[in-house]
Structure 1
């Protein structure tokens, strides 16, 4: 598990460094996830330790959102002043997430039907 956590932190660091060096207007953590995705696609498999660690982190994801929610509450006055863009970003973000998830599921199901039943 330690090895997998170090790997995740290393990719986040790589993403942060990429953003700093290029000046991209994106979160470093997101760029790090894209680097991780590229690395996993190149390997064509997910290491067992990484799969186990990621599964554990996903099971406790709500705990990981506590600092974010706390940060929003600290700046509640700003959110109250700028509630329209905040609401639009939340609604559009949720809609895009649902659409991408639905399209991905549709694509995977169609791909599974073409491949036929697994023996």
Structure 2
């Protein structure tokens, strides 16, 4: 278990160092995840060894959202002051994201459809 957690944290650390050192506009954990994917493609047996640890981490992922919830509660004054604006922004951005997804789906479907013989 320690080896798997060490690998995950090492990949995240390398991702942070690379993105900050090179000034890339990519979050360090994303670069670390890309590195982990490359490592797992090069050593497929490693995936089976880290799977139990990763399964436990994913099963308890909701615990990682507790700090975000505490942050929201800690900033209730800002939420009450800007609540209506935040709700409008959330609703509009959600609708725009859904429309973009539908538009992308329709565009890909048109590009991949074959004409009937």
* TM-score in terms of structure 2 length: 0.63
Which residue of structure 2 lines up, in the alignment, with residue 14 of structure 1? 14
**Following superposition of structure 1 onto structure 2, how do residues 30-49 of structure 1 map, counting pairs within 5 Å?**
30-49=30-49
RMSD: 3.1
Distance 1:78 1:86 in 2: 13
Q: Does 1:92 align with 2:97?
A: yes
Q: Which runs of 5+ in 2 are unaligned?
A: 105-117
Which residue of structure 2 lines up, in the alignment, with residue 63 of structure 1? 63
Count of residue correspondences: 96
Q: 1:6-39: CA deviations, max 9, x gaps?
A: 1111001011001111111222111111111111
**Structure 1: 4+ residue segments shifted above 4 A:** 84-87
Query: Relative to structure 1, is the Cα distance of residues 65 and 91 closer, same or farther in structure 2, using a 3 angstrom cutoff?
Result: farther
Deviation at 1:5, TM superposition (A): 0.6
Deviation at 1:44, TM superposition (A): 2.9
Query: Relative to structure 1, is the Cα distance of residues 85 and 31 closer, same or farther in structure 2, using a 3 angstrom cutoff?
Result: farther
State which structure, 1 or 2, has the greater radius of gyration over its C-alpha atoms: 2
Q: Which runs of 5+ in 1 are unaligned?
A: 100-119
